[in-house]
Structure 1
């Protein structure tokens, strides 16, 4: 079946979420800021590694985007005339570029489907004509850039490809297994490797490419695993060298010896390719509890390798949120009690946890962080690491949730086509809360439970081999376990990731009726959103997530693109088949609609037992290395056929916009580290944010992209000279206009208790370009100021439009008088069409207890002062004059007098 190429182009207007972190970052000590800065730089040096792991063309697509950026000096609009393309074509390219940068490759990080620009080859050729370099860059990639198939990542073939098996010679699954067997025999880990097939003298040979800064023969002397398999060090050598360099700089600013230890082991591993050093680093990292700046990086998750064993580079640098972390710690303290509620628990055995749990559950570190840098193909919500089972069992593990990523789920504009309109209000109000709670349970209890019954060494077992535990599935003693050298991933292969995620998801959903657990987070039978409300929404989510997952199933390959979505679909399918009617999907083929319905009365009686049965199966099979039973049950549960294929077609006909995340950056300025966030008011600036997060040799950071410094935060106390330019665009050393250095005269920013304040009563609120006010309005530009307020242009992140913010000075009477006057106008003036009326209002608090009233207005055009009028046609001036008189007359008729007669009080509307 041929699939139109339009299904592979990014949807325009995809959601944008800013990973805001400024207040958290500002609270760091100077030493911690430097540590975070160099760790973040090290993290981002891995961006090209990810691109290379995705597809051979991805690094060159990145080069093409960067070459275009430099060719037009970042002035994207000039490409329209210089390259003879339309504005719409330019926007389509920038949409593609932004999506590429956010996914670090030309395949979606979520779902692994390929995406291509919504442009013809001819248009791309015209776009590249701006310079010789851009033309050469495009010539390298024009074919694979637009080619479909491949449709998705997977085993290399006609319809799928994988960067883990590079080269022109395609590897079969049998050949990949052959290399894996040799690696197991020689105890060579797969996580930081790729495999290239070559033909030599008519016979296949295999190069095991090992990521390391160093090249040459491995330090242990092991060069060949077999006659046809050789280890080749130095994969991603340049990037690994840069990573090690910045980690070395980060070592100068550590807070404790544990951080020194794991950074040194990181450097050893990334330099030499030693996975043993990396595993040792994870032992030290786990012991760095309650870190103010959290650091995780390496080849971590194997989701995108079709064989399920090779891992993608991933790095996250985050700053802990003490308030949210304390609440999570209370949850951790109750974890042992919660584990006893799981379906395999047995009273009187192993302290009530049953024989399929560790005898001692060491409560792990559970931290809520705000991400400063996430270098990965997806911006994940949470992590439970390390993945090495023996480290988890002997040293423990960490749970980390990303607060500024989870906040994106609370977006009222996200489409929700599978929810009944009558339930939409309730669902929008509670679904993000359920996602936070299930994420917390998923990481701590889901991934944190279970013991792999193993022969850890010949003749040595971590369970009673003479009296094996009784399986709750059949009431008989278990007959299988892990043999020496076997791991969870080596036994379960490409099923390992999805089965483990399915198990963890099921744990979180199974426990959502636990009132004691929900009470920890403030949800009871009397809270505004009750515990029962959250339980009901959990089951609605099961249906919604299961349907939406179908978007990530590739019909041509009969393969799932992402392990979490595969798991969500299987849970929905199981509940439909085994849940006794607790869930129902209504399907109207005539209108192509699908709607999830939940029978609230059957959640406890039918839904919970069904989820528990599925969960118990997966858990026992995982603990006992029973891959055959698991495969026999799980694969049919993930099959998309019959009615499910009809549903998939409907889901794919209503594609969900993909997220784009904008991330901050940091810069060393002398003895300080400065924080920057990109201002975005259009797709071009969103792309610019994507480029900001990739500090490679191909990218320079324009000064105008940096967060402007506001002097009220500086340590010096000297008043600037009176002739200092404030609130204007000023020229930098390249004679280009830079952003405002200051927005208001110095004295206006002083707090009321500052002895240098010129007027101890009337004070303006200090605004920074790029900050988000009231969690909604992104400040972009200074419009002006008057005697009682400052006025700013801002982007309304919810409604996706620009507005004007009028920030009143203190005392509060200034704002209240303004509100009263406006309310009188609304109440008494019959026609307010020519008057500027506020649309919303909120307060900005200050440390001294005062607060500033903010009024939100529609964004207007320039005022009709003389310089403006001289550029306006006479007919437009006459129309403006008439409207001005009409508006004044309407005020007079309501008994309201407008005293301002200057032209600066009257503005034009820009259409």
Structure 2
């Protein structure tokens, strides 16, 4: 009887929360309205079309659970306190990713939260089955779509930048929305907001017109880093203007309008901050709200983007200050708060400098506008926040790699002058991730990070490498081996974790951590001596360098992301041939040759699988790492090491087989990979964008004659594509009404709220429940709706 009473009480609470949220949304949205998208553009499939099947989320998408319970339970109360508040800050800030993905993503998020909060999932399934004729595959398709949406914080995959849609017809989904609304009305609840959200989003959920299929500049795609009336030419003009003012774009978006009288284009460059522009405001020596003329256009810097969310982020960071371990952590947090409050990039750089100096902490965390993969211009960062516990035992191996790095750097194929003047030893830690708040958290060999991304800090102050150990473990088993012989597959599968560890370590520390960039400064000085550089093989003498105000990001734009990832991957591939390097992982000289073979096998199949991210119609790539890995496969093939054979698979369908000439890897393979790596580093060091593009396109642009076979491979790997795993993450929960978890700190007892870690099943239902539990504040959802409506017209296509 007690259990029945508790369940009834919980259901009543659910309906009360849903009712209050529905009332709020109804006030903002008003009555349901017909979408303003024309029938010509809508193309909503009533029955599933081939296009929907192509872009639908596969029902067999693997879903893993991120296990961090043991590491969390071993923490002291002050450490659990810190993990909780930074987790809450990270998850709140991650909602910004919705707005950085598509105009409709925040509204779809609200729709899904309301739909699945309206009743328990089992009851919702019963409604779908009985009232809307859902078959089991329809229901499974809906759940996996919702799980993918939550995992990516939007309706585009962050890995590959392609749109995804439900594999259930819009008529059935609409029936479920209406039936749920009808049940709410029967219970005396308002339901118009649920239907209004559906009416605003239903066309855009299923829209698969040519512009809606991927994230890119128009007319080939969509982006919300720029208003919908911007294209690549606008981005170039904005970039030139920002470079002229020595302003970086990390936390900004661009909105283009026109003067109503003169027709002059006007660009608002809006920085993310909790504070609005105000009068005569100066941030980082930049005056806001003042129009500046440049090349026939008007530019104005403003701030206040995502202010509702950043206010909440700072509230959590402020609470985290009460449970920090060191003065460096407090200084870092103060600068983070200042950055998010004012929009100052310089404050975030200062926070990053303190973070780099904070050696060997128990808890690692980083938060801000970090990775630029999603911006088609490659300059603006998506919001990301994470917190993790350091695994001291596994970190010992990575520390050994750091301590030997200065011995290994001279093995790289470029002259000493192309290496940093001094190697600044970073922390390199293996982490048990508790929270990774960002669309599509890293997985597999990508589950490691080298940060900060500010090039001048990396070169002058240092950086950190972090290996997301439990993220790799969670996703590795869901990453099947393809395109190998039975013997090669068996060999690689049995050693794959060690191969991954080697790749990740070398990629992050000696890949991203190596190489110098040549700069000229405003006072006319240089950080290099051109007379000592000489000629670098076939790439010739140095004729270019970074001028004052130029950075790697502003020079290379989106090309920079894939160029740098390819350089880091190639460093790992190249150094993986040296026994003294492999000994760090306990691989003796006898086993070194076989390990090198397996490492090259891994890169070869990942290069082939990477063709999934290539789009023949536009000769473009949707993912930076995969483009680079395919270039590496091309190097292997051209050196005579690798071959790809077309054949018929066991299922009777076209298949491919990758094989390597093991004996040629340490000779022809090493020489070719070294020459390729030298070129990548040369163009990065000198800032030679034109040379880099010609060089890189020769490996990755398939529109040129002679690539017909590669296009055939592309068709096969697309047909045999395996879905990328989704990851269900836990939630931290305050489990006491007052500070009751006590410990002695510096001779005095301090008490904190009891914090628990709530786990979920590695299923679509588990993913959905984790997000329902993660976001329960109805006022937050009102802020999300206000923010979505404010700029919808600027970004809606």
Question: Normalising by structure 2, what TM-score?
Answer: 0.83
1:414-493 map, 5 Å = 414-465=479-530, 467-474=531-538, 477-493=541-557
Q: Which residue of 1 aligns with 2:758?
A: 677
The one of 52, 63, 86 aligned to 1:5: 52
The one of 402, 420, 426 aligned to 1:364: 426
- Note if 1:80 corresponds to 2:150: no
The one of 183, 193, 198 aligned to 2:252: 193
**RMSD of equivalent CA atoms:** 2.0
TM-superposed CA distance for 1:40, in Å, is 0.7
In structure 2, distance between residues paired with 1:406 and 1:695: 30
Q: 1:224 is paired with a residue of what secondary structure?
A: coil
Contact 2:561–2:624 (8 Å) recurs in 1: yes
Contact 2:733–2:758 (8 Å) recurs in 1: no
- Note if 1:47 corresponds to 2:94: yes
Contact 1:468–1:478 (8 Å) recurs in 2: no
Which structure has more helix as a fraction of its residues?
A: 2
Q: Which residue of 1 aligns with 2:18?
A: none
Q: 1:571 is paired with a residue of what secondary structure?
A: helix
Contact 2:539–2:682 (8 Å) recurs in 1: no
1:261-280 map, 5 Å = 261-280=331-350
- Note if 1:125 corresponds to 2:185: no
In structure 1, distance between residues paired with 2:50 and 2:708: 20
Q: Which residue of 1 aligns with 2:647?
A: 588
The one of 594, 618, 630 aligned to 1:557: 618
CA displacement, residues 567-607 of structure 1 (integer Å, 9 cap, x when unaligned): 11111122212x1x210001126841101001111111111
Q: Which residue of 2 aligns with 1:645?
A: 711
TM-superposed CA distance for 1:441, in Å, is 0.6
CA displacement, residues 8-43 of structure 1 (integer Å, 9 cap, x when unaligned): 011112212211111111111111110111011000
Structure 1 pair 84–574 and aligned structure 2 pair: CA distance change class (3 A): same
The one of 745, 753, 768 aligned to 1:687: 768
Q: 1:629 is paired with a residue of what secondary structure?
A: helix
Q: Which residue of 2 aligns with 1:250?
A: 320
In structure 2, distance between residues paired with 1:100 and 1:688: 13
In structure 2, distance between residues paired with 1:436 and 1:538: 10
- Note if 1:617 corresponds to 2:682: no
TM-superposed CA distance for 1:537, in Å, is 1.1
Q: 2:336 is paired with a residue of what secondary structure?
A: helix
Q: 1:455 is paired with a residue of what secondary structure?
A: coil
Structure 1 pair 428–409 and aligned structure 2 pair: CA distance change class (3 A): farther
Q: Which residue of 1 aligns with 2:200?
A: 140
Q: Which has the higher mean CA deviation after the structures are superposed, 153-162 or 605-614?
A: 153-162
In structure 2, distance between residues paired with 1:697 and 1:34: 24
The one of 320, 328, 352 aligned to 2:390: 320
In structure 1, distance between residues paired with 2:234 and 2:757: 48
TM-superposed CA distance for 1:158, in Å, is 4.0
TM-superposed CA distance for 1:156, in Å, is 3.2
Structure 1 pair 78–699 and aligned structure 2 pair: CA distance change class (3 A): farther
Q: Which residue of 2 aligns with 1:844?
A: none
In structure 1, distance between residues paired with 2:89 and 2:368: 11
Using CA pairs below 8 Å that are at least 6 residues apart, which structure has the higher relative contact order?
2
Structure 1 pair 460–377 and aligned structure 2 pair: CA distance change class (3 A): same
1:704-783 map, 5 Å = none
- Note if 1:667 corresponds to 2:728: no
- Note if 1:536 corresponds to 2:597: yes
Contact 2:219–2:231 (8 Å) recurs in 1: no
In structure 1, distance between residues paired with 2:328 and 2:214: 38
- Note if 1:291 corresponds to 2:382: no
The one of 717, 721, 746 aligned to 1:655: 721
CA displacement, residues 854-875 of structure 1 (integer Å, 9 cap, x when unaligned): xxxxxxxxxxxxxxxxxxxxxx
- Note if 1:383 corresponds to 2:444: no
Q: Which residue of 2 aligns with 1:399?
A: 465
Structure 1 pair 475–572 and aligned structure 2 pair: CA distance change class (3 A): closer
TM-superposed CA distance for 1:690, in Å, is 4.4
TM-superposed CA distance for 1:505, in Å, is 0.3
Contact 1:45–1:695 (8 Å) recurs in 2: no
Contact 1:219–1:272 (8 Å) recurs in 2: no
TM-superposed CA distance for 1:476, in Å, is 5.3
In structure 2, distance between residues paired with 1:173 and 1:303: 16
TM-superposed CA distance for 1:422, in Å, is 2.8
In structure 1, distance between residues paired with 2:592 and 2:676: 24
In structure 2, distance between residues paired with 1:322 and 1:682: 30
- Note if 1:504 corresponds to 2:568: yes
CA displacement, residues 416-454 of structure 1 (integer Å, 9 cap, x when unaligned): 231112322112112232122111111000000111111
Which protein has the larger Cα radius of gyration, Structure 1 or Structure 2?
1
Count the aligned residue pairs: 682
Q: Which has the higher mean CA deviation after the structures are superposed, 501-510 or 136-145?
A: 136-145
In structure 2, distance between residues paired with 1:695 and 1:601: 59
CA displacement, residues 667-691 of structure 1 (integer Å, 9 cap, x when unaligned): 1122343333334275323432344
Q: 1:160 is paired with a residue of what secondary structure?
A: coil
The one of 632, 643, 647 aligned to 2:694: 632
CA displacement, residues 274-307 of structure 1 (integer Å, 9 cap, x when unaligned): 1111111111111111111111111111111111
Structure 1 pair 160–336 and aligned structure 2 pair: CA distance change class (3 A): same
Q: 2:254 is paired with a residue of what secondary structure?
A: strand
1:843-862 map, 5 Å = none
Q: Which has the higher mean CA deviation after the structures are superposed, 672-681 or 95-104?
A: 672-681
Q: Which runs of 5+ in 1 are unaligned?
A: 346-353, 701-911
In structure 1, distance between residues paired with 2:318 and 2:587: 46
Contact 1:41–1:695 (8 Å) recurs in 2: no
Q: 2:124 is paired with a residue of what secondary structure?
A: coil
Structure 1 pair 409–120 and aligned structure 2 pair: CA distance change class (3 A): closer
Q: Which residue of 1 aligns with 2:667?
A: 605
In structure 1, distance between residues paired with 2:235 and 2:373: 16
Structure 1 pair 387–85 and aligned structure 2 pair: CA distance change class (3 A): same
TM-superposed CA distance for 1:73, in Å, is 4.1
1:794-873 map, 5 Å = none
Contact 1:98–1:690 (8 Å) recurs in 2: no
CA displacement, residues 740-799 of structure 1 (integer Å, 9 cap, x when unaligned): xxxxxxxxxxxxxxxxxxxxxxxxxxxxxxxxxxxxxxxxxxxxxxxxxxxxxxxxxxxx
Q: Which residue of 2 aligns with 1:178?
A: 237
Q: Which runs of 5+ in 2 are unaligned?
A: 1-48, 182-190, 740-752, 782-797
Q: Which residue of 1 aligns with 2:27?
A: none
Structure 1 pair 557–79 and aligned structure 2 pair: CA distance change class (3 A): farther
Contact 2:65–2:761 (8 Å) recurs in 1: no
In structure 1, distance between residues paired with 2:772 and 2:498: 32
Contact 1:471–1:620 (8 Å) recurs in 2: no
Contact 1:102–1:690 (8 Å) recurs in 2: no
CA displacement, residues 862-890 of structure 1 (integer Å, 9 cap, x when unaligned): xxxxxxxxxxxxxxxxxxxxxxxxxxxxx
Q: 1:462 is paired with a residue of what secondary structure?
A: coil
- Note if 1:523 corresponds to 2:587: yes
In structure 1, distance between residues paired with 2:539 and 2:118: 70
